[in-house]
Amino acid sequence: MDDTRGNRNKKIRSIKRSFDKDKTELENDKNKKIKDDVKSKDRLQKEKNLSNDRRLNKSLNSSKNKGENLKKEVKTRLREKRNKFQNDKYSHLTVAEKREQQKIDKRKRQKRIQYIIVTTLILLIILFLLYMFTPLSRISHVNISGNHNVSDSQVEKELNIKKGSRIYTFSKSKAINNLKKNSLIKDVQINKQLPNTLNVKIIENNLVGIVKDKNKYVPIIEGNKKLDNYNGDIANSAPVLEDFKGDNLNRITKALSKMSNETRDMISEIKYAPLQNQQNRVLLYMKDGMQVVGDINTLANKIEYYPQMSQSLAKDSSGHLKTQGYIDLSVGASFIPYNENSSINSKSDQNVRQKTQQETEAKNELQSALNKISEQSDTNN
């Protein structure tokens, strides 16, 4: 009984294995067929695309050839019409008369060309004379650029443009030489622009400061050059330097030379104000009303951050500081509020105390903004 059951199980397992094998073969055949179908489809698609490309290229070439053939045909027809017209024109004439008529036509064409040339020349001469002897050639516009410290009126005076000056008689070299006599001017470029405009570009020496000498102000230009004999006006004044002499004047001039033009233009006046322990101390009066304390040795680098410092300070709607004070750049960068019993010239500039909690909070807020700028300044230095 057990043997019979075992044989039956073996047969069942054998049948099952055979069934699984057949199933696997069927699936493999099915997958293979699917792959073959996909490959055949891809091949057909590629052949179709290739055929379309060939057809497209063929159509393009044919259209191109058609266009070229059409051009050739048009040219040929025009040539035929021209020849036909000429033949018709001379068809009723004999050979000798035809040659004579062709000579006459040729002379007519030559005369027509001559008339056109002569007429054009006459018109050009008339236009030239009109320009030369009418107000059109008189200098009526002068565009001056690049001047900051030399006024437009000074430039126009040296150009020596009179009421009847004409653009074609104006001497550029003479005007340039006259302008270069001004010590503040380094170079000049003058261009004539028809019909009646002069474009004047001024390149100035870098004006770094102004020193009061007796009853006049003397400019100092780049290279620490003092223009003692300068008698002209200064349209856009550089910082006025007070109480600087000898070596201190040279040092502050060098510091100003290192500053950018934008930063230097923000300074109205610089005053030498040493203290017992601060011999390099200077006071700066800015054009926006702020006051700055600095050191000659570090001023050139630290003052470059002044625009950021000024913007970080809280101001009211009228542009005035909510907490009155000054910026101290002598050591780091800090904002010092004013005290009722102290001034900017006192010896305790960095030890001023506030009497109200509101002022203390304002000071802390402003100081935090300036500390960031101070850290950036120290890093760059």
What digits encode the pLDDT tens for the residues 31-65? 777 777 767 777 777 777 777 777 777 666 666 67
Calculate the average pLDDT of the chain: 80
Region 207-362: CATH code: 3.40.50.10960
Nearest to 337 by CA among 317, 318, 365: 365
Task: Spell out the domain ranges in the chain.
Answer: 19-85, 90-133, 137-204, 207-362
In the prediction, which pLDDT does 358 show? 47
CA distance 143 to 191: 10
Antiparallel, parallel or unpaired: β 240-242 and 207-213: parallel
Residues 149-196: pLDDT tens digits?
A: 888 888 999 999 988 889 999 999 999 999 999 888 999 999 999 889
Closest to 294 in 3D by CA, of 232, 252, 338: 252
With CA atoms as reference, report the closest residue to 326 among 348, 347, 303, 310.
Answer: 310
Q: Which class in CATH covers the domain with range 137-204?
A: alpha beta
Q: What is the pLDDT of residue 339?
A: 66
Q: What is the CA radius of gyration of the chain?
A: 47
The tokens for 15 are 């049948």
Structure tokens at 16: 């099952």
Q: What would the DSSP string read from start to end of 270-310?
A: EEE--BTTBTTEEEEEETTS-EEEEETTTHHHHGGGHHHHH
Q: Which positions of the chain have pLDDT values less than 50?
A: 340-356, 358-359
Q: pTM for the whole thing?
A: 0.56
> How much is the pLDDT for 89?
63
Nearest-10 Cα torsion for 56, 61, 67, 68: 170
Place of tokens 């009421």: 163
